[in-house]
Structures are given as C-alpha cells and as structure tokens.
Structure 1
Amino acid sequence: MFSGWGLTWGGWLDNRKGEWWLLAQLILIAAHLLPPWPAPASWGLAIWPRPLFGLGVLILLAGCALAGQGFLALGSSLSPLPAPRDDNRLITEGPYRRCRHPLYQSVLVCSLGVVIALGSVLHLLLLISLALVLQGKAHREEHALLAMHPSYGQYQRNVPAIVPGVPGLDWRL
C-alpha cells in the first residue's frame, strides 16, 4: 500500500510531485497538537464547556471514520502526493461518489472537531490554513487526473470537490 508513492529526496528539494503541498499539510496537521490559544480563561471560563468538548470529539471521530472510508476506497491508488500514481484507477464509488477528495474532507472535519473541542482561535486559523493548502493540493491533483483519465472532466462537473456548497472547497466545472 505504501510503496510506489514516488517520494524522493529530489522531490522534497524541487517539489516535482507536489511534495511541498504535502509538507505544508503535515505541518498544519501536527500544529493541531499545540495547546489552545487563547486559553479558555481569557474567554472568562475556568474550563471549556464539556458539551462543546464532547461535540468536538464526536466530530473528530466522524472525520477519522471518513478517512477510513477514503483509504479503503482508494486501495492501491493511495498516494499522499498531489501527483497521482502512474498505476492509479479513477475511483468514483463509495465516499468518492459524494466528493472528489474525501480524504481532504476528512482532514478538515477532524480539524473542525479540534476547533470545537478546544475553543481555540489558533486552531481555527489552522483549520482555515489547512483548507487553503488542501484546496491548492486538490487543484494540482485534478490537473494531473484530467490528463490521465478522459472521464474525469464529467466527474468534476457532477461531484463537489471537497465540501459541497462551500466556496473555495466546491468548484465544479
């Protein structure tokens, strides 16, 4: 499953397969481990409300479940890079029926869960930054998929990109 991704030292240096998009994504995801800022006390709260924390955890778990569905559906076509594998298949079933990038959607849902669980402006900024990075990564990926799969254009016209109805995350041709 992890072989054939095309990760090379040269690629990390010159971004030949979109490695810098992946690096930005990984940094933003890792930054979610930072503590909330500002702290709940600055909002006048001793602790963040438990119902919001619980809701955030549920949303985070839902995002993890969405990621699992996306991983399973992609199978051997899985790659962390925006450059699709040479041997990829165009997947349009399962979670790929509701959006073209369900793994990116799952990352955003997980990030939203963290924002709600922690009530952190810092994490909200991370979510917005992650949305911008994933948008750019998805655009690069789609240019390559259009070249590899003639039917991808029709798929683009009919299926939302990352989050249906959200400007910047749903572009349909």
Structure 2
Amino acid sequence: MSGNTHSKEDRRTAYILVGIQAVLIIGLIMFPAGTNWRATSAVSTAASALTIIAAVIGVWAAAYLGRGLTPLPLPNGSTELVTAGPYRIVRHPIYTAVFIWAIGSTLGSGNALKIGVLVLLIALFLYKSRWEERQLAASFDGYAAYMERSGRFLPFVG
C-alpha cells in the first residue's frame, strides 16, 4: 500500500457517505410493520433466511478484512489489499450483505415506505462503491486487475 494520506475533502466525503448510509439503515430498522401487504409465512421465512444469509456474509467479510475493517470507505494505511475469502468473489461483500438484509427486512415488513429506502440505499452503495474504488485504486497497485476478475456486489457483475 502506498500510504494513507487522505485529503480533508476525501475524509469529509467519507463521513457524509457513512452518515447517509446510517440514516437509511436506521430508517429500515425503525419503520414499523406496514399494512401495504401481508407477509405470508413463506415470505416471512424467506425474509428471515435472507437476514441469516446476510449476517453470515457480513461476518465472513469482516473477518477477512481484520484490521482493515473501518467505518469509513477509505483504505487503512496499515493493511494490504484483501482478495481472499468473500473478496475473491466480489469486491464489496459487506455491501452485498447489507443489500440482502435490506431486501429481507423490506419483504417481511409490509411497509411500502421501506421500498423507497431500499432504492435509496442501493443508489447510495452504487455511488459509494465507485467513490471507494477510486480511493482503493490510488492506494493499491493491483486494484485495477482485481476489479477485472471480481464482481462489484455480485459474482461476475460489474
């Protein structure tokens, strides 16, 4: 890694992105169950399964990051590029885990407002991941090659 000197503007952008992400995730958690649809037992089971899958992927990805896990989308100057475990398959497995959880949360809620929050969260992660990848490409010599062999959120996609 070629150092972690991040500009004040980059740090500010990182905090803003994380702040927006936190608001959206809290929104998904705090919106009450709705009456827009009734979650059948099959939908509730699927929503629960998605939550469990998301937790497994998220913990797996966090474990592989180790000391490199930070709340900000800025490379940590004391770590190396992680391309093993879930990072061998996708570049942003923690974001993938959050997507899966958010879909499960929305499906099981019966609240149409959560669909809007889910769409905003996906849009944010699309923007945030591109921004983060510019930071990673500037910090890690092999990042461009890594991008070519791994998907952004899903295997073989993006």
TM-score category, normalised to shorter length: 0.7 to 0.9
CA 1:17/1:88 → structure 2, altered by over 3 Å: closer, same or farther?
Answer: farther
Shift of 1:120: 2.7
Structure number with the bigger relative contact order (C-alpha 8 A, sep ≥ 6) is: 2
What residue in structure 1 maps to residue 122 of structure 2? 131
Are 1:31 and 2:27 matched, yes or no? Answer: yes
For 1:96-115, list aligned pairs within 5 A: 96-115=87-106
Shift of 1:160: 0.5
- Output the CA distance in 2 between the equivalents of 1:152 and 1:15: 20
What residue in structure 1 maps to residue 42 of structure 2? 51
**Deviations 1:41-87 (Å, cap 9, x if unpaired)?**
xx5xxx43121111101111110111000110000001111111111
SS at match of 2:12: coil
Percent of aligned pairs sharing the same letter: 25
* Amino acid in the other structure paired with 2:56: A
> What RMSD, in angstroms, separates the aligned Cα atoms of the two structures?
1.9
- Output the CA distance in 1 between the equivalents of 2:110 and 2:44: 8
SS at match of 1:84: coil
Kept in 2, the 8 Å contact 1:17–1:81? The answer is no
Shift of 1:145: 0.9
Runs of 4+ in 1 over 4 A off after TM superposition: none
What residue in structure 2 maps to residue 68 of structure 1? 59
**Deviations 1:16-60 (Å, cap 9, x if unpaired)?**
3510100011111111121134x14xx5xxx43121111101111
- Output the CA distance in 2 between the equivalents of 1:24 and 1:15: 14
Which residues of structure 2 form unaligned runs of 5+? 1-7
Are 1:116 and 2:107 matched, yes or no? Answer: yes
What residue in structure 2 maps to residue 81 of structure 1? 72
What residue in structure 1 maps to residue 17 of structure 2? 21
SS at match of 1:79: coil
Which residues of structure 1 form unaligned runs of 5+? 1-10
- Output the CA distance in 2 between the equivalents of 1:15 and 1:148: 15
Residue-pair matches, total? 150
What residue in structure 2 maps to residue 3 of structure 1? none
SS at match of 1:26: helix
CA 1:160/1:57 → structure 2, altered by over 3 Å: closer, same or farther?
Answer: same
* Amino acid in the other structure paired with 1:28: L
